[in-house]
Amino acid sequence: MKEILAYPANYWQTIYEIWLFISVVIYLVVFLPAVYFLVKYRYRKGVNERAQLVKESKALEVLWTIIPTIVVIYLATHSFAFYKVQRTAPEGALEIKVTAFMWGWEFEYPNGKKVYSFFNSVVDPEKNVYLQPEQVNDMFKAYIPEDTPVKVLCTSRDVIHSFYVHPAKVMEDCVPGRITHMWFQINEPGDYWAFCREYCGTQHSKMAAVLKVVPKQEFENWLQQGVQTSQEDNKQTL
């Protein structure tokens, strides 16, 4: 196993850990004093029958306005820095066009090779349940080279869908009439899920595709198989 399974998931992981730490601290900062007050100042006959006068504390109020402001602005700025990386595909990334439709995906590679994945190609036809990604027929799988950044240009043929690459923790809507973009890189060969994340009707929950990550050489071989572009035809005849 490599240290980082996929990009840009590592950035997400970092911001997740920062947020989780801050959240737990804030929760305790609120929860523990609250429990202390609840116990200490509970109503007790003869001891604590009436509330004591408490002076407003401007200092305290300023404190709990300014500290949260600093914390959230820090978080937003950290996210800003990460987001730039998460959104900008590295140079030389492999460009794939993904076209979503009700209900399936079309993947088009730079040399014109196309792969189609339909909602029923990830499903056991008899039981109508999801197959394991390895069980899906290879002809419906979108091949992705290992250790290579992939830039996805996404659009849709009918309604809004959303392309979510499960291991890479990125998604972007596929909007008809627009081309949206995202990128990811997977560093470990294997079969991975990509899901539709925008509700699109009856088969929304089966609108998944399998990304088959393979070593670079194997990808090149696969890419050339069964491609009959007109240019190549010309070359062959010459």
Partner 1 sequence: MAAVSYKPYFSAGLKEWIFTTDHKKIGIMYGVTSLLFFLIAGLSALAIRMELYQPGLQYMSEDAYNQALTVHGVLMQFWWAVGIWSSFGNYLLPLMIGARDVAFPRLNALSYWLFFAASVLALLTFLPGSQIRMMWTGYPPFSLNDNAGPVAFYALIIHLLGASSLAGAVNLVVTNLTMRAPGVTMKKMNLFLHSFLAMNVIQILGVPALAGAVTMLLMDKYFQTAFFDPARGGDPLLYQNLFWFYSHPVVYVMILPAFGVISEIIATFSRRELFGRTSMIVAIWGIAILGFMVWVHHMFTSGMPDWIRILFSYTTVLIGVPTGIKIFNWIFTLYKGSIRFTTPMLYTLSAIFMFLIGGLTGIPLGLPAFDIAVHDSHFVVAHFHYVLGMALTLAAFGGFHYWYPKFTGRMYSELWAKIALVLIMIGSNLFYFLQFIVGLEGMPRRYADYPAIDSWVRLHELQTIGAMILGAGVAIAVMNLLLSTKLGKKAEENPWQSPSLEWLVPSPPPPHNFDKTPHMPEDWDPYNYEWLEKQHKRQ
Residues 216-235 that bind partner 1 (CB under 8 A): none
Least CB distance from residue 235 to partner 1, whole Å?
38
d(CA 123, CA 127): 8
The only residue of 12, 116, 190, 191 in contact with partner 1, by rule CB under 8 A: 12
Min separation Cβ 46 and partner 1, Å:
12
| SS3 of residue 86 by DSSP | helix
11 contacts partner 1 (rule: CB under 8 A)? yes
Which residues in 31-60 contact partner 1 (CB under 8 A)?
Answer: 31, 33-34, 37-38, 41-43, 48-54, 56, 60
150 binds partner 1 per the rule CB under 8 A: no
Phi/psi at 48 (nearest 5 deg)? -135, 70
Residue 42 burial (CB count, 10 A): 9
User: For strand 161-165 and strand 190-196, is the pairing parallel, antiparallel, or unpaired?
Assistant: antiparallel
Q: Which is nearer to partner 1, 50 or 235 (CB)?
A: 50
Q: Does 203 bind partner 1 (CB under 8 A)?
A: yes
- Interface residue with partner 1 among 104, 206, 211, 212 (CB under 8 A) is 206
List binders of partner 1 among 156-175 (CB under 8 A): 158-160, 162, 164, 166, 169-173, 175
Q: Give the rounded distance of the alpha carbon of 157 from its chain centre.
A: 22
Distance from C-alpha of 192 to C-alpha of 198, rounded to nearest angstrom: 19
- Residue 116 found at the interface with partner 1 (CB under 8 A): no
Question: Phi-psi bin for 177: left (phi > 0), alpha (psi -120 to 50), beta?
Answer: left
